Amino acid sequence: MPHGRWSTKNGQDWSTLLAGLPYDVQASLFNRLQDRTDLNPASCYRIPLLLSTQRLTVNAGAATTSSFRFLSLTAVYGISRSFDNETGSAAPANVSNATLVYPSEVNIQISFNQGATTWIGSAAEPCTLASIGDAGGLNATRVDPIVATMNDVWNLTLTGQAGLANAAFSTVTLHGVKIYSAGGQV
């Protein structure tokens, strides 16, 4: 198959819809779309995905959970987070009493297939928020694309390590692209 040409055996051409996306994202989406004879590629369109959790409170030794629900066929290929500790960032008059909390003190886990498949982090191999995005939380960490289908739910758990000094707050955002048709969700 020539680079950039995504046509199925029955002649459906997905090239226009997938053009301009990273090649691994094109391949992942084409793998899901190629057998969809119920869809006309010319009637499909894509929009960017920015799907965030609500602001989550993370306490020492405790876990907080949230979830992502996908409304249409979606390729996720980036993840970012914001992180703040109001006790440390709003320094009191006596700055020596301020206790900062760091993203490396919060573990993250994202799973799907009703918890049967772990995407990021696990009990055996924890991942910290410090490894996601840049220090300012402005840039997404690029990950291999993973495709979520309509109505998939991914569960997210943030766990504060036992040594976490104060409650911290975080929002986790997934980045990618979602596909719709003229008839609505795909």
**In total, how many domains does the chain have?**
2
pLDDT of residue 1: 42
pLDDT of residue 134: 75
What are the 10-residue block averages of pLDDT along the chain, 186 residues in total? 59 88 96 91 95 95 95 96 74 61 93 89 90 78 94 95 89 96 92
Range of the domain at 160: 48-179
What is the domain-level CATH number for residue 73?
2.60.120.380
Same domain flag for 57 and 120: yes
SS3 breakdown of the chain: % helix, strand, coil, rounded to 5? 15, 40, 40
Backbone phi, then psi, for 171, in 5-degree steps?
-125, 135
Contact 185/150 with Cβ under 8 angstroms?
yes
pLDDT of residue 88: 53
Contacts of 122 (CB under 8 A, 6+ apart): 109
Question: Is 74 domain-assigned?
Answer: yes
Element (DSSP H or E) covering residue 158: strand 153-160
pLDDT of residue 175: 96
Q: Is the whole model's pTM more than 0.85, yes or no? A: yes
